[in-house]
Structure 1
Amino acid sequence: MTLRDRLGDTSHIRGPIEDNRSLKDLVWFRVGGPAEILFQPADEADLQAFLKILPQDVPVTVIGLGSNLLIRDGGISGVVIRLSVRGFGGTEALSPTRIGAGAAIPDKFLAAKALELGLSGFAFYHGIPGGLGGALTMNAGAHGSETAERVVEVRGVTRDGEVMTLPVGELGYSYRHSAPPPGFIFTSAVLEGIPADKESISEAMKAVTEHREASQPIKARTGGSTFKNPPGHSAWKLIDAAGCRGFRIGDAQVSEMHCNFLINTGEATAHDVELLGETVRARVYETSGIRLDWEIKRLGAFVPGAEVEPFLGK
């Protein structure tokens, strides 16, 4: 029996359900295998309805805009859920200082909404090429600010298909990390800013854009910052000191512009990208004694016989 057969009657589900759907075109690296099933819910109620009929033993993987993901070549078993901007990308002013935003809204659009409302504290989102759901999940940040500072509460759907609202204090936020209940899928959030004049907010956003354009390979197929900054260190400096600037495996390359970015220069596979990343980690460890941790989220299975060992087995 196929997974689709196990879902039973799906006539009441409004979002598309696709079998063996390639995920390459949904992630910025443009690499990786297929999803056994890809479901894109029409809205929160549709997501609830789907999860209520999904057998509990079926694994669920949630993806957003795919800007900070590496999907392995063997693909992802079970169900991949992708929240669309159309169904989960709305924003609204809730008070003079608070914004309600859907989990699929691109971070730069959230920054633009804050500018429209005259709220500071969101300019750093203008330079993050992802969506709010990913930012909530990994406590995304830049330029000395991070998501946890802006969140008041989040709303989401549990693996059982029930809606929950959680205050920021129950999300276990730390550097590039959150700890919501297992299986919790972020659907929206309430965020709070600080009233400020629009000119100063606009200038802050402009500074973010200029910094990003000058220092990051924004036009390349990449997954953004690859490794977390170890305490007291910059990942890119450690990578540069290890002699990895411009290093490549196949069409996967360490960016010449910013060493903490891996890029797909042509026809790289997910295996090429991950092998390059683990080679970089091994070389940094050999030269500095520091173990870099991945910031990019790696999902799915290796193709049998083409596994990549962490730190190349060291």
Structure 2
Amino acid sequence: MTFPDITPDLKAAMPDLRGRLLANQSLAELTWFRVGGPAQVLFTPMDEDDLAYFLAHLPEQLPLYVVGVGSNLIVRDGGMPGVVIRLSPRGFGETGTQDDIVSAGAAALDKRVAETAAAANLAGLEFFFGIPGTIGGALRMNAGANGSETRDVLLGATGVSRDGKKHTFTNADMKFVYRNSGVDPSIIFTSARFRGAPAAPEAIRARMNEVQTHRETAQPIREKTGGSTFKNPPGNSAWKLIDAAGCRGLRLGGAQVSEMHCNFLINTGAATGHDIETLGETVRARVMEISGIELHWEIKRIGIPR
């Protein structure tokens, strides 16, 4: 699908814009699944001020979505109407430390934040080493792994609202719950501050090695996948329910439930966004039929069907 090119109108309305606007830009290459149609407009802001300027001048009727590294995202084959914003590592990827505080831009990889903390001999952020996303996604989803979550270490965050205004959030303001935040979904997070605890460097590195070993031995990290597909139901594990429903290795078109970890879906090479999403819905239906438990998507799905 090709959308009408609205970039000339946007540029005319925003003469001082410094970031890059691209029309009908493929999103498949920006996601780990490598599927999906184009964004009507893909905008990459230069910095927080540029982002705020863009949002302040963006017509309200245009749909808006933000992507990071696309590690937990299915883009449907018809693409994404409106504007997709991608925060670049150059403008939003810096990390640093001061005393026991770790700062990070929203485009910083979770893994890099863990490494930054470790280099300063600060413990508590090792779990980020095993999360294949960015800090912006971690803030939105209260990302967690290996028994820890973002809310356990966050001091505060900054973001920009749809009207271009800048906001700050405390940990309490984030209204964290399991794999979600209660902050207005239209807020685009731009940075965060975390608190670590001084510790022996060898203990921190040992913990990071444990996290990495777990990922490599238990998850299909070298496949075209999207991370954990479904949230764990209260008191249960999604993968156990999927396995009990006989879905391990299940295929649909070019999509497959991972044999290694059946809460992961895989693009075996020629899957479409429709294949992957339909396989996920098939798994949900079978789990409901067998166990009576409804699985809820952890992976985000955006766009329109082809």
Please state how far the C-alpha of 1:5 moved relative to its aligned partner.
4.1
Q: Quick one: which of 76, 94, 107 aligns to 2:110?
A: 107
Aligned to 1:235: 238
d(CA) in 2 for partners of 1:10, 1:177: 33
What's the offset of the Cα at 1:3? 2.8
Which amino acid is 2:71 matched to?
S
Inter-partner Cα distance in structure 1 for 2:144 and 2:5: 41
The 5-angstrom pairing of residues 76-225 of structure 1 reads: 76-94=80-98, 96-225=99-228
Report if aligned partners of 1:22, 1:34 keep a CA contact under 8 Å in 2: yes
Match of 1:44 among 45, 48, 51: 48
Contact 2:5 2:23 in 1 (8 A): no
In the TM superposition, structure 1's runs of 4+ consecutive aligned residues that sit over 4 Å from their partners are none
Match of 1:22 in 2: 26
Identity percentage over the alignment? 57
Task: Single out whichever of 56-65 and 287-296 deviates more from structure 2.
Answer: 56-65
Distance 1:93 1:209 in 2: 23
Cα distance in 1 between the residues matched to 2:173 and 2:111: 26
Residue deviations 1:146-201 (CA, integer Å, cap 9, x gap): 00111111001111111111111011100001011342100001111111111000
**1:121–1:193 contact (8 Å) kept in structure 2:** yes
Find 2:71's aligned residue among 62, 67, 71: 67
1:295 aligns with 2:302: no
CA distance in 2, matches of 1:22, 1:212: 29
Moved more, 25-34 or 9-18: 9-18
Structure 1: which amino acid aligns with 2:288? Y
1:6 Cα deviation from its structure 2 partner: 3.5
Q: 54, 58, 61: which is aligned to 2:58?
A: 54
Q: What TM-score do the two structures reach when normalised by structure 1?
A: 0.94
- Matched position secondary structure for 1:226: coil
CA distance in 1, matches of 2:193, 2:231: 26
Instruction: Name the CA distance, whole Å, in 2 between partners of 1:141 and 1:171.
Output: 15
Q: CA deviation at 1:4?
A: 2.4
Match of 1:278 among 272, 276, 281: 281
Of 246, 251, 256, the match for 2:254: 251
Q: Secondary structure at the match of 2:271?
A: coil
* Aligned residue number for residue 309 of structure 1: none
| Deviation at residue 219 of structure 1 after TM alignment | 0.3
8 Å Cα contact 2:7/2:22 also seen in 1 = no
What letter is aligned with 1:229?
N
Secondary structure of the 1:225 match is coil
CA distance in 2, matches of 1:154, 1:39: 22
Q: Is the 8 A contact 1:6 1:55 kept in 2?
A: no
| Structure 2 unmatched runs, 5+ | none
Give the distance between the partners of 1:68 and 1:181, measured in 2 at CA.
20
CA distance in 2, matches of 1:168, 1:3: 38
SS at match of 2:226: strand
> Which structure 1 residue ranges, 5 or more long, are not aligned?
304-314
Specify the code of the residue in structure 2 equivalent to 1:42.
M
Give, in whole Å, the separation in 2 of the partners of 1:275 and 1:65: 23
CA distance in 2, matches of 1:278, 1:25: 24
Taking the aligned partners of 1:146 and 1:52, their CA distance within structure 2 comes to 33
Query: How many Å apart are 1:55 and its aligned residue?
Result: 1.0
Displacement after TM superposition at 1:9 (Å): 4.0
Give the deviation of 1:11 after TM superposition: 3.9
Structure 1 residue matching 2:262: 3-state secondary structure: coil
8 Å CA contact 2:5, 2:24 repeated in 1: no
Aligned residue for 1:308? none
